[in-house]
Amino acid sequence: MAALGGFVEFFQKGKTFRPKKKFEPGTLKYSLHKQAQASLNSGINLRHVVKLPPGEDLNDWIAVHVVDFFNRINLIYGTVCEYCTVDSCPTMSGGPRFEYLWADGQKYKKPTSLPANQYISLLIDWIESQINDESIFPVTVDVPFPKSFISLCKKILTRLFRVFVHVYIHHFDRIVAIGAEAHVNTCYKHYFYFVNEFYLINPKELEPLKEMTAKICNQIY
């Protein structure tokens, strides 16, 4: 199984779509991040890796994973973004049956059809603004998580899933061409088991990758 170290090392041969978000050494989040990566490195089954460690806070555990998944999906999209253009991907879609519309309540008040690269750029910017806001993702134990934290994480993880959908359906030939298929599949499985463990995504959202998920995650719907 590819652990995060190998995953990052592999994808840094290409380019990162956005700079990585890092945890500060000495903080609880950094410790949990290291604990989570140690479990991955040990080769433990991914279904067990995602479970909340005894005595740890659920919000902290979810926060660490949201940032990690953001970093990994950011790296994955960075390898295909030059092939994801207005001409090649005029809509943010996952095949002919699924199109994602962008709304942020500010510039885009109504759900709006956008080219995939523009949609994903706005998505990444939006997630960055959330995870860099220390009132939402506190970096010290004396700052409490907001009451809306879990619902916000569900929204972040749902939107990140849409990047998986677009990459798998429209750009997987590029992933295969650079030999990254196993790395991306491991990242997806880790993501899927995590959101499934803590009920962080509506099962309907998973529909575009239903067949692939059943195959690589041994998931029966």
Annotated binding site: 84, 89, 166, 171
Whose tokens are 């989570």? That residue is: 36
Which run of H or of E encompasses 9?
helix 4-11
Q: CA 159, CA 215: separation in Å to the nearest integer?
A: 22
Q: Which residues are annotated as a binding site for Zn(2+)?
A: 84, 89, 166, 171
Question: Which is it for the CA torsion 38, 43, 45, 47, positive or negative?
Answer: positive
Contact status, residue 215 vs residue 191, Cβ threshold 8 Å: no
CB within 8 A of 77, min separation 6: which ones?
A: 17, 84, 120, 124, 163, 167
